[in-house]
């Protein structure tokens, strides 16, 4: 049997986590993934001193990892958004831009249910936007790569 005081502490901890964890998940700005270019966040490193060299934003690309300002940086795709480095596991597949046909990614919508209709890949073209898969889809050029839609602002 758990003593009442310990049970109370566990309850408080669970309540705190219920409020803190969603807030932390929302603190990753869209620029941190280079607006959807990278996926699978694996590490966040706070390094405000790097702004002198990298500015407010830098899509550094892949780095093999190692010591970084007293921390162990993981191998992955590094993006600096002042004051933080975000390290990602993967890049977006090239086919998501229809192999360069579209540019300036403005939105990604994961919608596994669309696979039945669109298969593995579908270049839908321009759509004016609206409700889609429980989200507000932006106007732009839509490309389906299972299980997500990639929305681009311009045709190259």
Residue 4: its pLDDT value, please? 65
Q: 60 and 112 share a domain?
A: no
Look at residue 3 and tell me if it is in a domain. Answer: no
Q: Are residues 106 and 82 in the same domain?
A: no
Q: Specify if 10 maps to a domain.
A: no
Go through 133-151 and write b for each residue having 16 or more CB atoms within 10 A of its CB, e for each that does not.
eeeebbebbbbbbeebbbb
Q: How big is the CA angle at 76 (ends 75 and 79), to the nearest 5 degrees?
A: 125
Q: Judge if 71 and 109 occupy the same domain.
A: no
In a domain, 1, yes or no: no
pLDDT score, position 112: 93
Three-class SS of residue 93?
A: coil
Assess whether 112 and 135 both reside in one domain: yes
Using an 8 Å Cβ cutoff, are 138 and 151 in contact? yes
Q: Quick check: pTM over 0.95?
A: no
pLDDT of residue 27: 75
SS3 98: coil
Q: Of 81, 97, 77, nearest to 89 (Cα)?
A: 77
Spans of the chain below 70 pLDDT: 1-26
Residues 6+ apart with CB under 8 A from 35: 104, 105, 106
Distance CA 4, CA 2 (A): 6
Cβ neighbours for 85, distance < 8 A, ≥ 6 positions apart:
43, 44, 45, 47, 50, 68, 73, 78, 79
What integer pLDDT is reported at residue 60 of this predicted model?
92
Distances (CA, A) of 91 to 6, 38, 58, 129: 45, 4, 16, 25
Q: With residue 49 as reference, give the H or E element that holds it.
A: none
| pLDDT score at 54 | 96
Residue 59 belongs to domain spanning: 31-91
């Amino acid at each position: 049997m758990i003593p009442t005081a310990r049970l109370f502490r566990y309850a408080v901890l669970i309540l705190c986590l219920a409020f803190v964890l969603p807030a932390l998940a929302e603190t990753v700005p869209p620029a941190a993934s280079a607006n959807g270019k990278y996926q699978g966040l694996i590490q966040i490193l706070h390094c405000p001193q790097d702004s002198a060299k990298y500015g407010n934003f830098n899509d550094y690309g892949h780095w093999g990892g190692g010591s970084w300002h007293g921390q162990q940086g993981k191998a992955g795709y590094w993006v600096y958004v002042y004051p933080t480095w975000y390290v990602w596991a993967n890049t977006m597949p090239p086919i998501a831009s229809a192999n360069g046909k579209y540019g300036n990614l403005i939105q990604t919508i994961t919608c596994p249910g669309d696979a039945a209709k669109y298969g593995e890949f579908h270049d839908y073209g321009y759509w004016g936007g609206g409700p889609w898969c429980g989200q507000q889809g932006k106007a732009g050029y839509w490309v389906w790569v299972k299980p997500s839609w990639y929305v681009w602002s311009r045709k190259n």
